[in-house]
Amino acid sequence: MIIVLKRDSTQEVVDHVVEKIKSAGLAVHISKGKERTIIGAIGDETLLGQISLEALPGVENVMPILKPYKLVSREFRKEASVLDINGVQIGDAVIQVIAGPCSVESREQLVDCAKKVKAAGASILRGGAFKPRTSPYDFQGLGVEGLKLLREAKKETGLPIISELMDPRDTEVVCEYVDIVQIGARNMQNFRLLTEVGKAKKPVLLKRGLSATIKEFLMSAEYIAAQGNSQIILCERGIRTFETATRNTLDLSAVPVLKEETHLPVFIDPSHAVGRWNLVLPLARAAVAVGADGLMIEVHPDPENALCDGAQSLKPTKFASLMEEVRRVAASIGRTL
């Protein structure tokens, strides 16, 4: 931690800051320049979490040096983490594709969709049973009934399944049915939920919040890891910016940045980011080219009658074309699909 003091700080101010840092158990290093005195706090920066250094008189600025995340960092684990989800390897050279409808609507819709995305090459089935909706008047999902239909679709196709958990009280039932628990963007900083999925020891796909920095995203993963669960997939799905031509702005730069910072696998969900099905294909290609470990794509057998997110859902035939194109891009960078 670097503490920059205000110009012309007195010795009393310096001594007070130094004393505070030492009382927290860190060593101190003072550097007096012409215009500013700078104090370095050397040691475990988390010990300083209990002191409000910025509230000390004479302090102009406090700059952390070390990363606030540990277990999920590349410094903690140099090699990439590979997750095994019922035999599907996530995080190695093979790019995995999660596909399926935004929400589970019926047995027919789901099983039909599952078979078609499997035929096209998807390796994991998605489907929302509990749906976070902006309006209380919109379809909220089938709940446990939806989870049961997902299990049936899994039986029919062999595809592992992923579905969203919205409420700590549903943790047990969701974990009973699914292979991967999804934490949605709006819950990325629902710390109680993160703690629960950490304790549950199930694989988790954690979506980045709409206005979460990459640092905050990793801190949320750290919440899960801190409970002993390191089976975490990170998923970028668009951030909120001033641009309204797409629903959100897909931050593909986040992929190589995350790859530097963490050992966890990184997925991209272009469907939610752009909100329009015809933009999903080019962004899926770009996601693979930038280095993502997997994709999450919304596919619906009948988008115009979808109960949610029809505008961004691909028909199964379009999805099959997407898989063809994405496969070629993957090959061009030495990966397979």
Q: Which of 52, 106, 317, 336: binder of its own copies (CB under 8 A)?
A: 52
Burial class (CB within 10 angstroms; exposed 0-12, middle 13-18, buried 19+) of 134 = exposed
Q: Is 93 in the site for its own copies (CB under 8 A)?
A: no
Q: 186 is written with which tokens?
A: 């709006």
Instruction: Please tell me whether residue 54 binds its own copies under the rule CB under 8 A.
Output: yes
Q: Is 297 in the site for its own copies (CB under 8 A)?
A: no
Q: Residue 320 is inside which H or E element, if any?
A: helix 316-332
Q: Give me the least distance between CB of 105 and its own copies, in Å please.
A: 11
b/e 171-186 (16+ beta carbons within 10 angstroms → b): beebbebbbbbbbbbe
Buried b (16+ CB within 10 A) or exposed e, 89-101: ebbbebbbbbbbb
Question: Could you say whether residue 239 binds its own copies (CB under 8 A)?
Answer: yes
Nearer to its own copies, 155 or 332 (CB): 332
By the rule CB under 8 A, 2 interacts with its own copies: yes
Considering the rule CB under 8 A, would residue 287 count as an interface residue with its own copies?
Answer: yes
User: What's the closest the beta carbon of residue 134 comes to its own copies, in angstroms?
Assistant: 5
Please, which residue, 88 or 315, has the CB nearer to its own copies? 315
Identify the three-state secondary structure at position 47. helix
The helix (run of H) or strand (run of E) holding residue 84 is: strand 83-85
36 lies in the site for its own copies, by CB under 8 A: yes
| Site for its own copies, residues 107 to 126, rule: CB under 8 A | none
Q: Considering beta carbons, is residue 157 or 248 the nearer one to its own copies?
A: 248
The stretch among 81-89, 148-156, 199-207, 275-283 that binds its own copies (CB under 8 A) is 275-283
- Asked if 4 is part of the footprint of its own copies (rule: CB under 8 A), the reply reads yes
Q: Can you state the angle between helices 214-225 and 254-261, rounded to 10 degrees?
A: 40
**Least CB distance from residue 84 to its own copies, whole Å?**
25
7: contact with its own copies by CB under 8 A: yes
CA–CA dist 270, 127 (Å, integer): 16
Provide the minimum distance between the beta carbon of 87 and its own copies in the complex, in angstroms, as a whole number.
Answer: 28
CA proximity to 309, closest of 282, 280, 272, 281: 272
User: Is residue 203 involved in binding its own copies (CB under 8 A)?
Assistant: no
Of 285, 174, 181, the C-alpha closest to 235 is 181
Return the number of the residue (180 or 306) whose C-beta is nearest its own copies.
306
Q: CB-based contacts of 98: which residues, under 8 Å, 6+ apart? A: 122, 123, 124, 125, 126, 162, 205, 267, 294, 295, 296, 297
By the rule CB under 8 A, 234 interacts with its own copies = no
x/- string (CB under 8 A) for its own copies, residues 303-332? Answer: xxxxxxxxx-x-----------x--xx-xx
